[in-house]
Structure 1
Amino acid sequence: MINPCPVIWDRAIIHVDMNAFFASVEQRDFPQLRGLPVAVTNGERGSCIITCSYEARAFGIHTGMRLPEARKLCPGLIQRPARPRVYTKVSTAIMQVLQEISPDIEVFSVDEAFLDVSHCQRLHGTPVRMARMAKQRVLEVSGITCSAGVGGDKTTAKFAAKLQKPDGLTVIPPWEARERLHHEPATSLCGIADGIGGFLAEHGACTCGEVGQLPVSVLARRFGNLGRRIWLMCQGEDPDKVTTGIPAPKSMGHGKVVPPNTRDPDVLLTYLRHMSEKLAARLRRHTLQAQHYGIGLRTRDGYIGLKLKLASPDNDAEAIFRLCRFVLTTHWHGEGGVPGPGQCPRPTTRGTTA
């Protein structure tokens, strides 16, 4: 339940999260898909689901699931190849219209953004009113809906945005955040994954309230400044600011899903050459060179990978591919790539540019 409050918030953050973004764009552009289960994959022959519509999610289908498995759950699932240029164009229009509400915007991903509206309250009204304004303007400029979360910090706002989907609006005022999060699993907050969650559980802290009962020094000794932030996040006091600038990339990478249980070295080399070309082109496009490269392959026996260094920084595809060939011939012994739950076999190349 939303209770707009006329009180000026000391700090007000809105998190805007598009609803099944890629699939929603497909349903917008192809009306015959509306109301139907749709899965977006990487190309016509892609077999790993990038995202899916809410109609598909009702069958238990989720991002990362392989298409054959998804079709067992939903035989009528409709596959759509991804159209990155279209999604980028829609995303750009959305981010531009959100800047009209507040110039303090952090583009968190292609379909998510944080807005710091703390200084806009006398201009536009309450944070709740601005969240409604954001939802309406996103709908007008894109033709698709979004969910919004409003809080006094980034983590609480992002947590709130996912509570009512699709097309939801949830408000957790800063003076209610600690109590609201108290019984929530710590891993339900963005940035606290299984690794950190496991450490917290070892110390008897599974919920946000239990994390708050730990001495902050326990987290600080293990995670440094991040530990202090985690402790505050669980109490609805995330100090992280909305970052409006986009830092120069420190690394660039490219990954590709291959057919399951692939054991043919020629197939893997073909994929690795393709990725080498893609990575090299991206480096050149940004006028960058890299000297340190990480190359790996996820198999059913674990992750096979190696970090290598060129004699000097380079952005030549052939130089990158030589590293890929070296890794494949020296560290791969015919292991097949078999995905686990929500995973796809995926060779990757990554170059460190800074």
Structure 2
Amino acid sequence: MADERNTDAGSLPLSAIGRKIIHVDMDAFYASVEQRDNPALRGKPVVVGSPAARGVIAAASYEARAFGVRSAMPSVTALRRCPDLIFVPHRFDVYRAVSAQIRAIFAEHTPLIEPLSLDEAYLDVTENHLGIPLATQIARMIRARIKAETGLTASAGVSYNKFLAKMASDLNKPDGQAVITPAQGPAFVAALPVRKFHGIGPATADRMERLGLQTGADLRERSLAFLQEHFGKSGQWYYRIARGIDERAVQPDRARKSIGAEDTFSQDITGHERAAQEVRALVAKVWRHCAAKGVRGRTVTLKVKYANFRQITRSRTLIAPVTGPVMEETALALLQPLFPVAMGIRLLGVTLSTLDGEGGESGEGRQLSLWQEG
């Protein structure tokens, strides 16, 4: 493991070199909680989700991953890969409680905690409560406390920015950690295939490869103008990250951008009346959460996924924050023009965004998903 005190970083800005960021990522979190609470599941291929025809895997144990089973995979595909797969229903109340335990451990070291989900977070430990100079030592302490208090393992990445800390946390999974120093950062990114860059999806990676951009080194050779021409606003981000530069701060109080709910159906919906009924139920769920958190929003978005997996969204932004009845009326108005449908609907979702209010939980500005599996 490299020594993080080596800070010969060449052209990196001093503000970036000075930070010490840890990315903590729980190992197969939901599945590991289930194996912890039910010893009969330990050592077996376990997934959290539904075995129904329209089910989707929410999490997979490492034993299941050995068969190529992954989260977000359709259950039917997972079963083809591992016929002995064991399905357990999700228990989000338990996962949230364990997540709160873990976050309390983080808070013993720093107030600068940016949760990304229930099972991962960034921590800025440049200045920390215990005055420990090495972030690697703090990461080891956190991982040990998590194991002692929850019986679960966590992996960690340590670096001088968020991007590289995130990449480092994957290097020695499960139950390990790695550090990428400022001296190592540019070379690490240069050797990294663009498909492994956090934040670059398959479609963007395909486009990059068609342009001859296979690695971070290829990105670095291209001018800012070239990257902006082909990737728009993201071009500047790719230009900087190809040089190991990411000056984003850990933001513990970043506001959530949206609150949404969606449902995947066991049978495709073809009738307007049934679809409208489902939309009303989703609106009610979103509104209950908004009311509990004291937040309001002005933009209502309807999401529709058809039987062939084609997905569309329709949105409307109002002048004033919506009430529950107005959100329902707006969502139904967005639904109406889509009928009659040429193909059945497998999923519907409703999201409220352009939020205000004081009740939002900390996060990375991502949608809070209140999904259900069919």
Conserved in 2, the CA contact under 8 Å of 1:220 and 1:228? yes
Which residue does the alignment assign to 1:82?
90
- Superposed displacement of residue 121, structure 1: 10
Q: Which amino acid aligns with 1:349?
A: V
Identity %: 29
Q: 1:156-235 maps to which residues of 2 (within 5 A)?
A: 156-220=164-228, 226-235=234-243
Q: Give 3-state SS (helix, strand or coil) of 2:93's partner.
A: helix
Which residue does the alignment assign to 1:341?
none
Which stretches in structure 1 are left out of the alignment for 5+ residues? 338-344
Which residue does the alignment assign to 1:340?
none
TM-score, normalised with respect to structure 2: 0.82
CA pair 69-263 structure 1, distance change in 2 beyond 3 A? farther
**In structure 1, distance between residues paired with 2:319 and 2:121:** 40
- 2:132 aligned to which of 124, 128, 137: 124
- Superposed displacement of residue 76, structure 1: 1.9
**In structure 1, distance between residues paired with 2:334 and 2:253:** 37
- 1:282 aligned to which of 273, 284, 289: 289
Q: 1:90-169 maps to which residues of 2 (within 5 A)?
A: 90-120=98-128, 123-169=131-177
- Greater RCO, CA 8 A, separation 6+: 2
Q: Give 3-state SS (helix, strand or coil) of 1:139's partner.
A: helix
- Superposed displacement of residue 42, structure 1: 6.7
CA pair 182-6 structure 1, distance change in 2 beyond 3 A? closer
Pairwise CA RMSD of aligned residues?
2.8
- 1:292 aligned to which of 283, 290, 299: 299
CA pair 243-324 structure 1, distance change in 2 beyond 3 A? closer
**1:19-59 residue CA offsets vs partner (Å, 9 max, x unmatched):** 11111111111111111111112799972111111111111
- Superposed displacement of residue 266, structure 1: 4.7
1:19 partnered with 2:27:
yes
Q: Give 3-state SS (helix, strand or coil) of 2:265's partner.
A: coil
More displaced stretch, 30-39 vs 99-108: 99-108
Q: Give 3-state SS (helix, strand or coil) of 1:346's partner.
A: strand
**In structure 2, distance between residues paired with 1:74 and 1:104:** 41
CA pair 225-174 structure 1, distance change in 2 beyond 3 A? farther
CA pair 119-319 structure 1, distance change in 2 beyond 3 A? closer
Q: Give 3-state SS (helix, strand or coil) of 1:129's partner.
A: helix
Q: Give 3-state SS (helix, strand or coil) of 1:190's partner.
A: coil
1:321 partnered with 2:328:
yes
Q: Give 3-state SS (helix, strand or coil) of 1:133's partner.
A: helix
Q: Report how many aligned residue pairs link the two structures.
A: 344
Conserved in 1, the CA contact under 8 Å of 2:53 and 2:266? no
**In structure 2, distance between residues paired with 1:291 and 1:6:** 48
CA pair 42-267 structure 1, distance change in 2 beyond 3 A? farther
- Superposed displacement of residue 225, structure 1: 6.2
**In structure 1, distance between residues paired with 2:54 and 2:220:** 44
Conserved in 2, the CA contact under 8 Å of 1:301 and 1:335? no
Conserved in 2, the CA contact under 8 Å of 1:150 and 1:172? yes
**In structure 1, distance between residues paired with 2:267 and 2:95:** 28
CA pair 152-28 structure 1, distance change in 2 beyond 3 A? same
**In structure 2, distance between residues paired with 1:236 and 1:121:** 28
More displaced stretch, 119-128 vs 135-144: 119-128
CA pair 241-69 structure 1, distance change in 2 beyond 3 A? same
CA pair 245-43 structure 1, distance change in 2 beyond 3 A? farther
- Superposed displacement of residue 320, structure 1: 3.3
Q: Which amino acid aligns with 2:303?
A: G
- 2:75 aligned to which of 53, 59, 67: 67
TM-score, normalised with respect to structure 1: 0.87
**In structure 1, distance between residues paired with 2:267 and 2:173:** 33
**1:129-187 residue CA offsets vs partner (Å, 9 max, x unmatched):** 22211211121222100111111211111111112221121222110111122121223
- Superposed displacement of residue 73, structure 1: 2.0
1:351 partnered with 2:352:
yes
Conserved in 2, the CA contact under 8 Å of 1:44 and 1:81? no
- Superposed displacement of residue 69, structure 1: 2.6
Q: Which amino acid aligns with 2:82?
A: C
Conserved in 2, the CA contact under 8 Å of 1:46 and 1:81? no
**In structure 2, distance between residues paired with 1:125 and 1:312:** 49
Conserved in 1, the CA contact under 8 Å of 2:156 and 2:178? yes
Which residue does the alignment assign to 1:244?
252
Which stretches in structure 2 are left out of the alignment for 5+ residues? 8-16, 356-374
**In structure 1, distance between residues paired with 2:319 and 2:106:** 45
